[in-house]
Structure 1
Amino acid sequence: MTPISSLANPTIKHAAALLTQHRIRKKSGQTVLEGVHLIEAAIKQNFTIKQIIIGQSALSHPEVAGLIEQIAQSIILATDAVYKQIRSLGTGVDIMAIVEIPTPALGVITSDCLILDGLQDLGNIGTLLRTASAVGISTIISTTGTAHLWSPKCLRAGMGAHFSLAIFEQVDYEAILQKVKIPLYATSSHTDKVIYQHNLTQPIAWVLGHEGQGVSEIFLRTATAIALPQPNGQESLNVGVAGSVCFYEMLRQRQFAQH
């Protein structure tokens, strides 16, 4: 296999654009997974791998060899110099995959879900997806204006959680309120009723809002507001932490409460 040595190669150019430009990801309906772990997670969930790009030195790596055995799709080899110019990760195993972004249609929701309302920090979003998946929340809805959940940075933060979730992106408020048929719960600083005073054993739609502005008024009008205790007087918690606290209190009430 002759390695590609030019950045002008169409596949190399496309991968570089997908890694850096939301516009290209949206137009093509594709994104990039970097590293062995994410690619393995995608394969386990039967995601279709469109293209694999491997840095020349990584070809002999045992983890890469194992992946190649599982993938029948097209594999191209790039010189180390070319690969290093397009990757967004630091030093590691130089392998990336181009995959299709799922675009499922939102149906009626009657089981636990997470609504991301205007969040912008991709690290926070990835953390929330990872934690939601860990506790058994499998449906994720993002409102218009929320950052792109399938960006490479968010995928890395999610550590493979994306592939076990049903993700519905850029859904308008009216559609969400129409389709979500379970109670909405939103973190808020305008209530004195803390999370431990709420019964969280029924299906819940958790609403987590923009890092600075919080949950939109349209959701607050219909959601049950919950407070997270902060006895040391901090103004607020990081949204990734706040969501994780909520999810695990829900899990505790359902599976680990004292009887």
Structure 2
Amino acid sequence: MPTIFLESKDNPKIKHLRGLIEQNNYRKKQGQTVLEGTHLCLSWLQENRKINSIFTTEHALEHTDFDEITAQYTGMIFVISESLYKDLSTLGTTLACLAIVDIPSSSQALDFKSDTLILENIQDPGNVGTLLRSAAAAGIEQIICTKGSASLWSPRVLRAGMGAHFSLQCFENIVLEDVLPRFQIPVYVTSSHNSNSLYSKDLKKACVWVLGNEGQGVSEYALQHAEAVSIPQPGGQESLNVAIAGSVCFFEMVRQRL
């Protein structure tokens, strides 16, 4: 496999890599992002997707996990020092592997009759990634992300999603008012102040889930154009974390459909 050693943090390829890791606008401009860790890289390759380049260290390159990657990837591998890798990495604890890939564009138009998750102004990368992971596990394949939400293809969201992105149709920077009225299936929003229990709903057919901002919840527009449901909490907590609440909803839907 072709390898090149890079030593300077000012090398153009290192600067490009750093820009993709740290700057959302740069990722959008370049149409690229970074997968960190061998798990994400292998998940990407298993979907028959292309890796443009890989950055790693001498120590990591000798690890058996890297053998699986190089068995499928024949492109250029850039070897950098341990200290430079730690400076670039957002993880710090995984086997050194940073892969530059092109951000996929959705190959399909929005489907207004299929199960859909809408993320409305959810800003925490961990919550967004967890919701995508739960949605994928529950069989929801279409994700809509409104303006103001964390970028789906940021390294931190990708890390939290653990490869869920790669089997999903993702649409970003969508205006909620442009799409919500077009759905021809039930639309539900979660609200801790609503008396209609999630468990009283018939979720056997396709539906839309709208989940809102961590602090403020969904918008008034969403509340007015959807049916609000609550998750019973006999323990008396004020509310659930949005990723937990969404996951509960998705798997009640799965339970009813089994």
Tell me which interval the TM-score lies in, with the shorter structure as reference length.
Answer: over 0.9
Structure 2: which 5+ runs fail to align?
A: none
Question: What is the TM-score with the length of structure 2 in the denominator?
Answer: 0.94
- Counterparts in 2 of 1:61-80, with a 5 A limit? 61-80=63-82
Give the C-alpha shift of residue 178 in structure 1.
4.8
In 1, Cα distance between the equivalents of 2:147 and 2:201?
29
What does residue 232 of structure 1 align with? 235
1:17 corresponds to: 19
2:250 maps to 1:247: yes
Asked if 1:112 corresponds to 2:115, the answer is yes
Query: Given that residues 142 and 168 in structure 1 are in contact (C-alpha distance below 8 angstroms), is that contact kept between their aligned partners in structure 2?
Result: yes
Residue-by-residue CA offset, 1:59-108 (whole Å, 9 max, x unaligned): 11111122012012322222323222212211331111011112226423
Task: Choose which of 218, 223, 228 in structure 2 pairs with 1:220.
Answer: 223
Q: What are the Cα deviations for residues 96-149 of structure 1, in whole angstroms up to 9, with x where unaligned?
A: 101111222642321111000110111111111111111111110011111111
Instruction: Give CA deviations for 1:175-230 in whole Å, capped at 9, x if unaligned.
Output: 32254332211111342110111101110110000011111111211211111101
Contact kept in structure 1, 2:120 and 2:210, CA below 8 Å:
yes
Q: Is the CA contact (8 Å cut-off) linking 1:117 and 1:142 kept in structure 2?
A: yes
Per the alignment, residue 94 of structure 1 pairs with: 96
In structure 2, what residue type is equivalent to 1:93?
L
Q: Which among 128, 134, 137 is matched to residue 137 of structure 2?
A: 134
Q: Does 1:209 align with 2:247?
A: no
Q: Deviation of residue 11 (structure 1)?
A: 1.4
Query: How much identity, in percent, do the aligned residues show?
Result: 49
Q: Is the 8 A contact 1:47 1:163 kept in 2?
A: no
* Divergent runs of 4+, >4 A: none
Q: Give 1:49 shift.
A: 1.0
Using the TM superposition, name which of 139-148 and 96-105 deviates more: 96-105
My pick for the range that moved more, 111-120 or 7-16, is: 7-16
Q: 1:187 aligns with which of 183, 186, 190?
A: 190
Say if 1:106 and 1:168, in contact at 8 Å, map to a contact too.
no
Opposite residue 9 of structure 1, the aligned amino acid is N
Cα distance in 2 for residues equivalent to 1:184 and 1:2: 52
Cα distance in 2 for residues equivalent to 1:194 and 1:209: 18
Moved more, 61-70 or 96-105: 96-105
Picking from 76, 80, 83, the partner of 1:81 is 83
Q: Is the 8 A contact 1:201 1:253 kept in 2?
A: yes
Aligned to 2:51: 49
Q: CA–CA distance in 1 between the matches of 2:101 and 2:205?
A: 36
Number of residue pairs matched by the alignment: 255
Deviates more, 1:76-85 or 1:8-17: 76-85
**1:238 CA displacement:** 0.5
Q: Secondary structure at the match of 1:70?
A: coil
Give distance in 2, aligned partners of 1:72 and 1:53: 13
- 2: CA distance, partners of 1:229 / 1:81: 49
Amino acid at match of 2:52: K
The 1:5/1:115 distance shift into structure 2, 3 A limit, reads: same
User: 1:22-56: per-residue Cα shift (whole Å, max 9, x none)?
Assistant: 12112111110011000011111122211111212
Q: Distance in 1 between matches of 2:146 and 2:111?
A: 16
Of residues 118, 142, 146 in structure 2, which corresponds to 1:143? 146
Which of 196, 199, 216 is matched with 1:196 structurally?
Answer: 199
Unaligned runs of 5+ in 1: none
Q: How far apart, in 2, do the equivalents of 1:57 and 1:10 lie?
A: 23
Secondary structure in 2 aligned to 1:90? coil
Query: Which residue is 1:34 aligned to?
Result: 36
